[in-house]
A and B are shown apart, each in its own frame.
Chain A
Amino acid sequence: MIIATVEPWVEAPLKRYVDDARARLALLLHPSGQVVAQAGFTNEVDVMSACALAAASHATAGELGKHVDGRAFRSLHYAGPDRQLFLSPVETARGAYICLTVFNLDSSLGLVRIYFEELCRDLAAAAPPLSDLRQPTLAIDFERDLDRNLAALFGRGAETA
């Protein structure tokens, strides 16, 4: 499976996770929807769509959880007839990410959850500390950053704005 990452420290933990959990697709993204790493996707439009939808689903589940339970729901699981998805946040020293995992009948929710816990530990251990204060993502930078990340993942030259 092809794995591409914007941040190199993500690659080894993500590869191990995808192999162990027998995931078909995996996506690591910022809560804003910016992609950090992907496994199994062949089309950058699919990555963009999946990132936007995953970020929206995560935000929606978080708000629903606050209404229903007083705090954000963390993980989300949807099951289709052949494919299922698992969406859950990952906390690291570099901030929070969201991981979207798609799996089929070769795996199971139980296996994905177990190996996801290992992914969280591996990413937390591998994340280099932030050397300077993280700048908030501004709307004006979002598209430029998104383009840069997609270019890094799919190996095309970065487009200049």
Chain B
Amino acid sequence: MTQFTPMLQALTRQRGVRASLIVSESDGLVVDSSLRFGQDGDRVAALAASMYRKARLSARAAQLGAVAFLQLDAERGRVCAVGGRSDLVIVVVADPAVNVGLIRVELFKALESLA
């Protein structure tokens, strides 16, 4: 149990959320996670961190400023991520039918508590 565990457990309790993780953006390693059965935390962490870093660099190169919220919609799920306050990124993996608006609000709340 870490200082992040209650926040991650609250995220994973949201309907349709399969996993929530705090990931180091630079290393792609899991800092803490709350996973439902069958989720591969290491894989999600590495790929989501890589995706977030690429998005941040792309946004900066396009002079769009900082990345606020990143969302990937795929056939069998969604990945949402927020970060930018430090090297840490909060990642949620959810079902395709999840309420993204609610997830977004919860992720920003979690990001505030991370600061």
A interface with B by C-beta (< 8 Å): 107-111, 113-114
Q: A108-B49, A111-B47, A114-B43 are in contact. List 10 more A-B contacts (CB 8 A).
A: A107-B50, A108-B27, A108-B28, A108-B29, A108-B46, A109-B27, A110-B24, A110-B28, A110-B46, A114-B47
Residue of B nearest to A21 (CB): B46
B interface with A by C-beta (< 8 Å): 23-24, 26-30, 42-43, 45-47, 49-50, 53
| CB pair B29 A109 closer than 8 Å | yes
- Inter-chain CA distance A109–B30, complex, in Å, is 11
Q: In the assembled complex, which residues on chain B have CB atoms less than 8 Å from the CB atom of A111?
A: 28, 46-47, 50
A86 to chain B, nearest CB (A): 11
Q: In the assembled complex, which residues on chain A have CB atoms less than 8 Å from the CB atom of B26?
A: 108
Q: In the assembled complex, which residues on chain B have CB atoms less than 8 Å from the CB atom of A107?
A: 50
Q: In the assembled complex, which residues on chain B have CB atoms less than 8 Å from the CB atom of A109?
A: 27-29
- Inter-chain CA distance A109–B24, complex, in Å, is 10
B106 to chain A, nearest CB (A): 24
A-B contact pairs, 22 of them (CB 8 A): A108-B26, A108-B27, A108-B29, A108-B46, A108-B49, A108-B53, A109-B27, A109-B28, A109-B29, A110-B23, A110-B24, A110-B28, A110-B30, A110-B42, A110-B45, A110-B46, A111-B46, A111-B47, A111-B50, A113-B46, A114-B42, A114-B47
